[in-house]
Structure 1
């Protein structure tokens, strides 16, 4: 049975605001129970989670924000955007909401890198306690993550010009490359994606946001190391026909992560939570119902 969609116009009415380093951040929260932090990808926003929002909120306290520079949050023009700062933002949001329990992470794409930084801080005992983490099609290993031509252009010296000329047709052309062959978004969904990107003059900063490609290489050892340490259960749920972080990312994850827990979604591309939300929900809940792994158990002998 398909999951109900939350229209973007309704989603926006449910947002709340808090200030992060003087910038207005839009966030959403619902449900009760163990905190589950949802981390969205580039170049979209937290609305990406709308199919999963209600069923997850029936079981957990779900929390999500549009990261700085994304969606309905502030998009300051003269700002150096950083995945490290986005991890700071997530910690500030948890503090704002007075979350003091260990937090579960569900992360996609750009958000996967933010999750890796949060995992690294957890292992250093420098941030929030992370109880578990599930990745959806994320660029976890930069050597295995492909880059679209538009991203290369945005990273070039003329990136600012490419960003300012970026339009809805460019979005459609690039999105069509990363979805599965039978799971392309509707025209209405594309309109909503564009609305989120264009909000607050967002195209002016696309060339700054895409700096995450370089940042992933810079912090590779730290972030890959965070995946290789014991103590936090991990799962990768991956749409394998994704040209950016599909089958090649699955292969690399299996090579580098100890005892890899991998779910492969055949025929699904870069956005499994919108292309196959029922499957993602089933595999996520199954993961959460498992006994904790990798955590040393105290054994009493009698």
Structure 2
């Protein structure tokens, strides 16, 4: 049975706001139970999770925000964006919501890198993570295959391309990374573009894209954290994805002991919207195997 969508106009009305380092951040939370933090990818926003939102809320306290520079959150122009700061933001949101239990994480794309940073901080005793599931993302810089537009945004003319970035450019990129039978509709593309374009988003794309070299700097620390084995991990990956599909999962299996991976044939880079029923099934199966008592955690 297909999962019900939450229209973007409804999603936006349900948002709340808190201030992080002087910037307005939109966030959403629903449900009760163990806290589950959903972390979205580039260049979209937390609406990416809308198919899974209510089903997950039947079991967990589900939490998500539009990260700084994304969606309907603030997009300061003269700002140095960093994955490390986005991890700070996630911790600030948990503190704002007075979450004291160890947190479970479900992340995608750019959000995978933020989740990797939170895993590293777990071992540094700066947060307590109960489990983590990654959807398609650049977990290893050596397997990440960026689109041409991403490469150009990183170039010296990136600022110019960002200013000229349009709905047509977004559609062209999305057509390449979604599965052949799971392409977004025109209405969905309108909504994705609305989130990217909100608060003059295209003008900072060249600043956000610096996450790609930042991943290389943090690689050893992040991979070491994933190799520890103390935190249950799973990868649920759209196999058709040209950016981080089968080739990324093969590398994951090489590097991560007892690798728990699920490949979704024919599904592209956005499995949570292309195949939400399958993602929900495999996520809940992963969680059903876990028997973790609630734990208190102090944030510093």
TM-score tier (shorter): over 0.9
Aligned to 1:257: 256
The equivalent of 1:70 in structure 2 is 70
1:170 aligns with 2:169: yes
Give 1:226 shift.
Answer: 1.1
* Aligned match of 2:266: 267
SS at match of 2:80: coil
Aligned match of 1:138 = 137
Cα distance between partner residues in 2 of 1:4 and 1:211: 35
What secondary structure does 2:113 align onto?
Answer: helix
Residue 154 (structure 1) aligned with residue 153 (structure 2): yes
The Cα offsets for residues 68-88 of structure 1, whole Å up to 9 and x where unpaired, read as 000000000000000000000
1:252-284 Cα distance to aligned partner (Å, 9 max, x none): 000000100000100000000000000000000
- SS class of match (2:63): strand
Partner of 2:53: 53
Which residue matches 1:288? 287
The TM-score, its normalising length taken from structure 1, stands at 0.96
SS in 2 for 1:29: strand
Offset at residue 292 of structure 1 (A): 4.9
Confirm or deny that 1:109 pairs with 2:109.
Answer: yes
Q: Are residue 211 (structure 1) and residue 192 (structure 2) matched?
A: no
Aligned to 1:297: none
2:85 maps to 85
Gaps of 5+ in 1: 294-302
In 2, the alpha carbon distance for the partners of 1:277 and 1:42 equals 18
Determine the C-alpha separation between the residues in 2 that align with 1:48 and 1:209.
Answer: 18
- Mapped partners of 1:16, 1:271: distance in 2: 25
> Could you say which residue in structure 1 is the equivalent of 2:12?
12
Secondary structure of residue in 2 paired with 1:64: strand
The within-5 A match list for 1:171-210 is 171-210=170-209
Secondary structure at the aligned position of 2:286 is classed as helix
CA distance in 2, matches of 1:274, 1:96: 28
1:25-56 deviation per Cα after TM superposition (whole angstroms, max 9, x unaligned)? 00000000000000000000000000000000
- Structure 1 equivalent of residue 38 of structure 2: 38
After TM superposition, give the deviation of residue 158 of structure 1 in Å.
0.6
How far apart are 1:291 and its partner, in Å? 3.7
Report runs of 4+ in structure 1 exceeding 6 Å deviation. none
In the alignment, the residues of structure 2 paired with residue 171 and residue 21 of structure 1 have an alpha-carbon distance, to the nearest angstrom, of: 30
For residue 27 of structure 1, what is the aligned residue in structure 2?
A: 27
CA distance in 1: counterparts of 2:215 and 2:291, whole angstroms: 29
Tell me, in whole angstroms, the C-alpha distance in 1 between the residues paired with 2:33 and 2:51: 20
User: What is the aligned length?
Assistant: 292
| 2:298 aligned residue | none
Could you list the runs of 5+ residues in structure 2 that have no partner in the other structure? 293-300
Separation of aligned partners in 1, 2:97 and 2:247: 38
Q: CA RMSD in A?
A: 0.8
Q: CA deviation at 1:67?
A: 0.1
How far is 1:124 from its partner? 1.0
Secondary structure at the counterpart of residue 98 of structure 2: coil
Asked if structure 2 preserves the Cα contact closer than 8 Å seen for 1:233 and 1:292, the reply is: no
Structure 1: distance between partners of 2:45 and 2:196: 8
Residue 169 of structure 2: SS of its match in structure 1? helix
Distance 1:94 1:112 in 2: 18
